[in-house]
Structure 1
Amino acid sequence: MVEYIEFGDIFNIAGVQNFAHGCNCAGAMGKGIAVQFKERFPEMFIKYKALCSENKFNLGDVFDYKYENGIVFNLATQRSWRTKAEIHAVKHALRGMLDIAEKNSITEIALPKIGAGLGGLDWGDVKNLIEEEAKKHPQISLHIVLNFKNQPLLNSL
């Protein structure tokens, strides 16, 4: 199931302790929601940066970071912060995330419009891909925040 939340904060959805976001493969989390992930999970950022510097985090990969209350899914959607996200990488990473979630009995994941913000992809294309992949895992609910609180509406539904 996919739930779209027009305005909100992925970190403040009742009952949700697992989060996902699109990342680059260069070890940078300096803009957008990635900054919030870096600040909330500093140990995750250190491990992510190390994976990138060792070329062990590539397009389409998933770095699942377990923290005390859940898992953060770092989805490798773009090569660097200077390049756009790649739709095939989003698809592969989503599949990997959903497979990991299923194996770990995770039923709720909150995420932003991966690949469609700073990643530059068309939200309609990404939305269709998410819905297609989510149908294969009906026991997992994806809560997608379309716009962060206090920000203007950006390419909604």
Structure 2
Amino acid sequence: MINFITGNLLESNAECLINTVNCEGYMGKGIAYQFKLKYPNNNRDYVKACKSGKLKVGKLHYFKEDSKIIVNFPTKDKWRQKSKIEYIIDGMDSLVNLLPTLKVKSIAIPPLGCGNGGLEWNDVKSLIVEKLSKIKDEYDFYIYEPSSGYSTVLPKEQPKLNVSSLVLMEIKLNLDRFNSLRLQKTAYFINMFLGETYFSFKKHKYGPYDNAIPIISKNIKAFQNYYGTKNTREAYEIAFRTIISEQSKNKLAHIQPAIYRACMYVNEVKTDKELECISTILFLIENNILNNKEDIIKSFKDWSEDKASRFSEEDIKQGLEYLIKTNIVSKTLVGYEINK
């Protein structure tokens, strides 16, 4: 029988739970991240399957943990890509063939490839019904329709933090105003003041961006949930005692002056728009030879149509002047350069 329901799939009584994954070994968003927290052994086995090349689109990986059979169902190849309907078609064919082997009678299926995957639920729903139609009398299928019914899952194991986690927590503790943009840009200025590439930044919609930072932030949140604290200071102290070694203590001590300097600098920038502007200019100077203001304005406007529409030439000129006034950037005979 096929049953359509809403709610939290992770609380299902079904013997078999379907988890939507990519083929890169990264459970970082949505229901996959909740699975990672609740079923850590499954996650480890899934990562091995990805690294060995055994898990590919159209193939399934399954693992038993806490009396549940978890089937990891690739709805994406790369984690940053969108899902494709043909991936769901191939995966459903594989699932129908796999079920007799699993010896289960009840299966919970999420909205495959929808949400972060970008597929339309009505299309996926019709496909699931079609693929299960021949076996619907042999099993109880619980199809979870899209909803906001997923509650926070407490990790079974202490999430692993590192020095970078402590750095991000120190940023939060020292910023007057905190949001994801200010976190990213403060980390970028840490690189500048440190004089080395501690974080790895790339071009992004709102300026320089490190993809690892939201992942680390998510681990910090899971760490706080594990210890039952929402207080960043308390979480920092627990993490420091838990992960610190002589080597990591020395590493943190090396970075701390740059953390405080970066936080002080960002706290002086009044608006997020101004912060985005100056960090974008700085990223352009860091990665290009720019001889004059016109070069900077052109490079800034060429970043994206969105940036070109949100920032005027005057905004960019003022951002450059601010960087010069605050002694971050200098004008030389060969162009603009970052002060060491």
What's the TM-score once normalised by structure 2's chain length? 0.42
Larger deviation, residues 98-107 vs 86-95? 98-107
The size of the alignment, in residue pairs, is 149
**Cross-structure match for 2:237:** none
Verify the 8 A CA contact 2:14 2:107 in the aligned structure 1.
Answer: yes
More helix by share: 2
Distance 1:123 1:47, change over 3 A: same
**Cross-structure match for 1:149:** 149
Mapping for residues 38-57 of structure 1, pairs under 5 Å: 38-57=36-55
For residues 26 and 52 of structure 1, what CA distance do their matches in structure 2 show?
Answer: 6
Name which structure has the greater RCO, CA cutoff 8 Å, separation 6+.
1
**Cross-structure match for 2:113:** 115
Aligned residue among 34, 37, 61 for 1:36: 34
**Cross-structure match for 1:8:** 7
Mapping for residues 37-116 of structure 1, pairs under 5 Å: 37-116=35-114
Q: Residue 74 of structure 1 aligns to which amino acid in structure 2?
A: N
For residues 55 and 35 of structure 1, what CA distance do their matches in structure 2 show?
Answer: 21
Verify the 8 A CA contact 1:102 1:140 in the aligned structure 2.
Answer: no
For residues 136 and 85 of structure 1, what CA distance do their matches in structure 2 show?
Answer: 25
More strand by share: 1
For residues 60 and 66 of structure 2, what CA distance do their matches in structure 1 show?
Answer: 19
Larger deviation, residues 138-147 vs 28-37? 138-147
**Cross-structure match for 2:199:** none
Bigger radius of gyration, 1 or 2?
2
Q: Residue 149 of structure 2 aligns to which amino acid in structure 1?
A: K
Distance 1:150 1:59, change over 3 A: closer
Q: Percent identity?
A: 30
Q: Which runs of 5+ in 2 are unaligned?
A: 152-340
Q: How far is the alpha carbon of 1:74 from its aligned partner?
A: 0.4
**DSSP-derived class of the 2:142 partner:** strand
For residues 150 and 58 of structure 1, what CA distance do their matches in structure 2 show?
Answer: 27
Verify the 8 A CA contact 1:134 1:140 in the aligned structure 2.
Answer: no
**DSSP-derived class of the 2:144 partner:** strand
**DSSP-derived class of the 1:136 partner:** coil
User: Over residues 104-126 of structure 1, what are the superposed CA-to-partner deviations in whole Å (9 max), with x where a residue is unaligned?
Assistant: 33111112101112111111111
Q: Which runs of 5+ in 1 are unaligned?
A: 152-157
What's the TM-score once normalised by structure 1's chain length? 0.86
Distance 1:34 1:77, change over 3 A: same
For residues 150 and 120 of structure 2, what CA distance do their matches in structure 1 show?
Answer: 22
**Cross-structure match for 1:154:** none
Q: Residue 143 of structure 1 aligns to which amino acid in structure 2?
A: Y
Q: Residue 83 of structure 1 aligns to which amino acid in structure 2?
A: Q
Please provide the CA RMSD for this pair.
1.7
Distance 1:64 1:92, change over 3 A: same
